């Protein structure tokens, strides 16, 4: 599956200035690793974010977000923001801030 290069660019911009970011092809898209931990990525034209496993969809307060289930099973702590919800740099930056905060809270590998 191809991923949206424009979305990947918006994610890169939101992570600009960090020296600990790596981009890796994963899940048929592009995953952004921060400090060695999976942070967020692209699946087609959608943004995948990783948050605490106990995060609920209601807490995200967004009509554009859903629980990630591309494996055909809900993945705890993983959410997908549809194309409409991540079409603007400002919205991508908001989502990336949330997922970056979680990734950086994890213990070092």
Tens of pLDDT, residue by residue over 40-98, are: 999 999 999 999 999 999 999 999 999 998 778 888 999 999 999 999 999 999 999 99
Compute the C-alpha angle 82/36/8, nearest 5°.
Answer: 30
Sign, Cα dihedral of 1, 35, 94, 5: negative
Residue-wise pLDDT for 28-43, tens only, equals 889 999 999 999 999 9
The pTM of the full predicted model, rounded to 2 decimals, is 0.92
- CATH for 5-105, options being 3.40.50, 3.30.70, 3.90.1150, 3.90.550: 3.90.1150
């Amino acid at each position: 599956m191809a991923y949206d290069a424009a979305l990947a660019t918006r994610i890169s911009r939101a992570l600009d200035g960090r020296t600990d970011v790596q981009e890796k092809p994963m899940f048929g898209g592009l995953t952004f690793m921060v400090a060695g931990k999976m942070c967020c990525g692209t699946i087609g034209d959608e943004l995948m974010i990783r948050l605490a496993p106990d995060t609920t969809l209601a807490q995200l307060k967004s009509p554009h977000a859903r629980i990630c289930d591309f494996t055909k099973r809900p993945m705890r702590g993983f959410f997908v923001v549809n194309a409409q919800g991540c079409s603007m740099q400002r919205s991508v930056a908001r989502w990336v801030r949330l997922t970056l905060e979680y990734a950086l809270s994890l213990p070092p590998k």
